[in-house]
Structure 1
Amino acid sequence: MALFTFKLPDIGEGIAQAEIVGWHVKVGDRVEEDQPIADMMTDKATVEMESPVAGTVVRLAGEPGDQVSIGAMLVEIEVEGEAAVPPPSVEVVEAEVPGEVVTEAATETPLPLREGPGVGGERSEPPIVAPEEPASPAPTPSPSLSGRGANRDEPILASPAVRARAKELGIDLSQVKPGGDHIRHADLDAYLLYGQGQGYRPAGRSAARPDEAIKVIGMRRRIAENMAASKRHIPHFTYVEEIDVTALEQLREQLNAGRGERPKLTMLPLLIVALCKALPDFPMLNARYDDEAGVVTRHGAVHLGIATQTDAGLMVPVIRDAQDRNVWQLASEIRRLADAARTGKAKSEELSGSTLTLTSLGPLGGIATTPVINRPEVAIIGPNRVIERPVFRGKEIVAAKLMNLSISCDHRVVDGWDAASFVQAVRKLLEAPAFLFVD
């Protein structure tokens, strides 16, 4: 038997250290070659580290949120023999976060390894994670939980449907008091309604949940840092205008009725066309501000970031040259990029270089939003929910579909008059949508 020290390899140019996002193993676990052992995050990417050998984990380099230097011990594995270890590959899964350009791709990168103790090398001394203490015996169930299933030594009687529902609701069946010889759906309902004792609780009261401390690490920490930097450095102002989209919605329905095999149109492709047609007269909005150099770059092409919510957090894939695409091409690209972001398949060039960002909450859009600018851009646009309300048309009251459009701008670069004038130009296009298709 020998100890193999897997040291954190160079996982990016200029990277000195990486953050432990999460462990896939713990001390005492048996790992196989190429088995994922940890997720590490640099300033730009989340990297899945794989074990180069098979063996038993005896030491870890820290806890989620800790930093590990390049070349320092990441994990120590007890292996059989002293056979040479082939260099592993690293799967790089990178994600865009607001205000930061990030790459998302899978690459094969050789990992330089240095031999550890027992193989002839030196070992570094990072923080360690001690083997887990044996769990203390489970406490004896309280009298209120007595009955079949309350004692973990007794079988829990429940149908597959009840077990599936309990799993979905996160209910431990051993804590449910059955009303008969086995646990039924009604017992689950009583557990949800009254809690562990399944006793009576007065109507209108709910059980207090225990406090939960969650360490802010990984993607969530990157988002937090970038949003804080955006608000700290950028003096935001937000302008909101109400737009009558009745005619636009009628046009959208007509286009969808004859779309054939093309993707279904939402409001976003039509809004993007309006933005691209209005932007040439307001170049200060399609720009990026390097505040350290004191330079504003006004871009001729519209590379539109589409804020997309994923399981990993907020990502911003980019529609390249949005001004050159028609509504159907925009609809296809929006759907493709959203799917790629949510499944972790977006490429690096699809997650960087946006010049203006569009953020939409869809049906959850609310009355108005005050979106945070995707630094170093200088503006971000947020359409809100479309609602139907009565409005005056002359002396008549008619039903109209209305939508508020929000824009947040960097007041160092964009004046309030410019932002308001731009939104009014977009409003005219959306309220008379035939002009969207006129050069």
Structure 2
Amino acid sequence: MYHDISRENNTPEDFREVYCASTPEVAQRFNERIRNLEGKQIVLVSHPWTISDSLNVDRSWERLIMTPNVANEMGHMEKAFSAEVENNVFFFLPDEFRAPFPLSGYDHIHVVVGSKPFKKGFGFAVGQATTFKRLLSIQERLELRSHFLRLGSRPSFATFYVGGEKKPDAAFEWRHSRPMMRRQAVWNHSLGAFTAIVASFGPKVDAATVVQCFVPEGLFTVYLTMAYRLQTHGILKWNTDERLVMGLEGRELAVFLTVLPFVEYDYRLAYIVAANMALCLKADQTWTDISSALATCGVETVRKGFAEESELSADECNEIQKHLFKAYVSQLCSCVKQNDTIELLDISSKRTINGFLRWSEYAISFDNLPEGKPAFGVYHSLVRDTTEVNFRDWTMIPGRIVAIWVNEFRDRVGQPGLEIESMLRTDGSPRQNYDSIKGEAWEAPDW
């Protein structure tokens, strides 16, 4: 429940908005502002967090970083927002977060934000989870500024610092001239998990109709892409109609649904954990950890000589790679080396990824591959800077595992001649992200 302060007059005695073109300028203006201030202070830092290193606060300040699961931290956060901690507070705002209580008890309040943060989401230019620089929506901007509208007491000074906005008209640009639509988890980075959860309700619920209600008009291809991928993975059953039918059952389904909240609703990670594997690796405290803890308490233990780690067999390695591939098949990438030229292709989007080329010689054993034959690997997500797209990670998958899956997929869909390029796809043509900065998308020749 949010604190109702609608009838309270807690407008700051001195409120200022500071718009700066760059992060260094924000830091300079902030440091000048707090230099001679006395009294209790709190700083709320949003995007980008990297600006915090340039802000001139000493070690006496209490730094608080909230995790995505803030339920267990609410008590400490409430004390910080109510100035019930001894020191000044430096608070890092997590994504999509709104405090359920107002700021009170502070003489000086500072909110520092950037208007063009690097954030992860569904990249329309490649059809994959991508971290890229994008513009905050109007709703997100108003939400950040709303801290000054929800005050439990009246501060002497309040300052709102914004980086990445050019003057003049910076204040108008911040509040009005930005993307109207906010990226919401339900249709963005968590759409796969949401779709699977709705499908798990069974035949009494028209899962396709329900999920489509949450996808904004004009972005229907995002839904089509995700529904097809879930069917390709095997999380949903392969159908010839438009129904979404859960493909997991029993223990796999129970574990999948249970794990989702703990992996930030990444259906791929939940799928790996839920997979029915003959191999079960248990994470236990080692004998060394236990004996050391007992020794600290003055309890001696009998020395034992045994190996604390066991090497996986070839079959066990193969099983882990197989389940990793099944979970990340939509992020399968092929790598071909011909005449000393290396090409990396994201098979689902049919897009060339250039950011990994300089490392591929070290990560891929091309000498063990037949001439002209591709190496395969999967990745978790991409990151785009101003010049190129990079893999955040890369894990090789043996070609035999890919070949076995291709044959199984052909049997499942009843198309024996289907090639892998047609099995993996992204619906809709690549296009620029509506909330990206100018020049973010690939140039036309690369579409």
Q: TM-score, normalised by structure 2?
A: 0.21
- Which structure dedicates a bigger proportion of its chain to helix? 2
Between Structure 1 and Structure 2, whose CA radius of gyration is higher?
1
- Which structure dedicates a bigger proportion of its chain to strand? 1
Q: TM-score, normalised by structure 1?
A: 0.22
